Amino acid sequence: MRSPPHILVINGTKVRRPVFVLGAPHSGADLLARAVKRSAGFHLTTGRPGVLRVSYAFARQPSIATQRGQGAARVLRDAYAETWQISGRACAECPPECRELAGLPPASPTPPGRPARDGERAGPCVQPADVVRFADASPDLIYSADVLLDAFPDAQLVQVIRDGRDAVADMLDDDRCLAWFKPGLANLDTVFPNPFLGVEDHTERSRWPSAAPAVKCALRWRGSVRLSARLRQQVPEEQLFTVRYEDLAAHPRRVATEVSEYLDQAISSTVLSGLVRSGTRDAAELGVGSWRERLTPRQSAQVEKVAGAELRRLGYRLAADA
């Protein structure tokens, strides 16, 4: 049973039906998050330090959330109470990724020992009076979905699903993703099974130290989409909407309309279409099917061996199906 609603007020506005954009690493959730952030009435954040500290603690050690019960929900809710504040001081903590989603230039660094000047301050990307809905698209929120729903029982989740082979190709080019696999960060000695790393049985555990990067990335993707599948079974339809990345790339206006209907709040189809089409000539430039050129035959085979069942379940064809 979910906890009773808790009234959270940010800059004089009650937080009702907050929106959380979820997805596996490099699922394309950031593209949808950009459209939400640039649509009227929304204040969307991503990667704020307070939320990241809490969400990664729950993601990497799920027992923390289960042992604390409602305490975990309070901790996460308090993190958002700070994160969603709109002021020069609060927004100065926004990472470059958050300002980039809004289409703003990064804030100029302030020299040590000197107060920030007007041109160096990270001004708010939205005015408090214009905000109707609050949202967040911090990375790896999928691992804290249960806690999010405990903290905000009326939350609406939007999850983005993408071909795992394309996601793995992007993960292999992302040093921050690969950093989680380093011996100092991989916590399999203390957490097993490990949803965050996607390691679920003893065979995978024993092979992990010598596994190829593509295998480790495929395990992470597989683990996250399995969490997504469980969410679909457990969360009411009015609180979870799934977007397929390939549909978003091919039909952005249609996806914007569908998401708008689900949220009961307009997502600009013009903005989403512009984000998808700007600087691109075809779907391949958005990474749809680019794994064929970016992964070696060996890497493709490794990903399909690890995550073939999930790829087929989601409707993606494997080499063996050709």
Residues 6+ apart with CB under 8 A from 108: 119, 120
| 242-294 per-position pLDDT tens digit | 999 999 999 999 999 999 999 999 998 888 888 887 645 455 556 799 999 99
| Farthest CA pair distance, the chain | 63
| 113-140 per-position pLDDT tens digit | 545 454 445 578 888 899 999 999 999 9
Among 172, 175, 178, 141, residue whose Cα is nearest residue 158: 141
| 140-173 per-position pLDDT tens digit | 999 999 999 999 999 999 999 999 999 999 999 9
CA distance 48 to 37: 15
**Amino acid identity, residue 99?**
R
CA atoms within 13 A on the CB side of 64: 19
CB of 256 closer than 8 Å to CB of 158: no
Q: What is the CATH topology of the domain spanning 1-110+117-162+239-278?
A: Rossmann fold (3.40.50)
CB of 315 closer than 8 Å to CB of 245: no
CA distance 272 to 256: 7
CB of 162 closer than 8 Å to CB of 24: yes
CB of 32 closer than 8 Å to CB of 243: yes
Q: Is the pLDDT of residue 174 over 90?
A: yes
CA atoms within 13 A on the CB side of 254: 9
Per-residue confidence band for 89, with pLDDT thresholds at 50, 70 and 90: confident
What's the token pair of residue 255?
């996806």
Average pLDDT, the chain: 89
CA 58 to chain CA centroid, nearest Å:
15
Domain extent listing, the chain? 1-110+117-162+239-278, 164-235+283-316
Could you tell me the pTM of the whole model? 0.91
Among 310, 288, 303, residue whose Cα is nearest residue 319: 303
